[in-house]
Amino acid sequence: MHLLEVEDLRVTFGTGDQRVPAVAGVSLTVDAGETLALVGESGSGKTVTSLSLLGLNPPAPAGTTTGQIRYRGRELTSLSRGDWRRVRGAEIAMVFQDPGAALNPLLTIGTQVGDAVRAHETVSKAGARKRVLEALDLARLPRPEEMLGRYPHQLSGGMRQRAAIALAIAARPKLLIADEPTTALDVAVQAEILAMLDSLRRDLGMALLLITHDLGVVAGHA
Ligand SMILES: Nc1ncnc2c1ncn2[C@@H]1O[C@H](COP(=O)(O)OP(=O)(O)OP(=O)(O)O)[C@@H](O)[C@H]1O
Ligand SMILES: [Mg+2]
């Protein structure tokens, strides 16, 4: 059984004359522990495809999603909002191009990553703190203890993306979607983040759906 199997996914926004097809028949499979790259020109529907895998596209009438999304053999498209919440983060998680999209500017890194752990597990305060430090360490943030009390604006762009990755892996998802995770970063940091995602995949046995414009990245990582 594939970890993820998407069949003929179609997403349309709007109704009547204003209908905009955003995803027009995407099929793909991702196996446990593998990296699959998703490549396509700007506006071709890569981000909308990713959001579909998290149940985050606008519901009807604003949007229409059809097709099948099977995760470990289970059909996700018919899940209730509550069931989606149990999948999101704990099974499938996402890292965005702009780390600001994932981080709340008003909360410390420690609080946000802690909330992500506690959203899916019942852990003691000390247990949660340990899990947060682990996640920050896995995302290779320097001096994790010090990061706990920092706010997103107190981090560099590269560190913010590491914090967003720590947040995404905090509940140990089996599939991580990385939507152009390094586009906003300078070249040296890009290489470090991609190498880190690669080792996370190996160490946590996670599959990676990597969205990128860079065919060099595809050749090297997927
Ligand atoms: N919420 C929405 N409402 C209406 N149209 C949308 C919405 N989200 C995306 N679209 C449209 O869907 C299409 C696909 O967008 P999407 O963001 O998935 O492209 P992309 O492949 O990720 O592009 P890029 O490489 O620039 O990130 C675009 O035409 C976009 O304008
Ligand atoms: Mg996009």
- Rounded average pLDDT over 65-86: 95
CATH of the domain at 81: 3.40.50.300
* The pLDDT value given to residue 98: 87
* The pLDDT value given to residue 4: 98
Angle at 171 between CA 198 and CA 165, to 5 degrees: 45
* Domain encompassing residue 192: 4-221
Q: Answer yes or no: are the C-beta atoms of 11 and 52 closer than 8 Å.
A: yes
* The pLDDT value given to residue 99: 83
Q: What predicted TM-score, i.e. pTM, was given to this entire model?
A: 0.94
Q: How confident is the model at residue 61 (pLDDT cuts 50, 70, 90)?
A: confident
Q: Which residue puts its alpha carbon closest to atom 11 of ligand 1?
A: 22
Going by C-alpha positions, the residue among 57, 52, 95 that lies closest to residue 76 is 52
How many structural domains does the chain have? Answer: 1
- Rounded average pLDDT over 85-97: 94
Q: Which residue puts its alpha carbon closest to atom 27 of ligand 1?
A: 42
> Is the C-beta atom of 48 inside 6 A of ligand 1?
yes
Least confident range from 34-38, 100-104, 134-138: namely 100-104
Q: What is the CA radius of gyration of the chain?
A: 17
> Is the C-beta atom of 45 inside 6 A of ligand 1?
yes
CA 33 to chain centre: 15
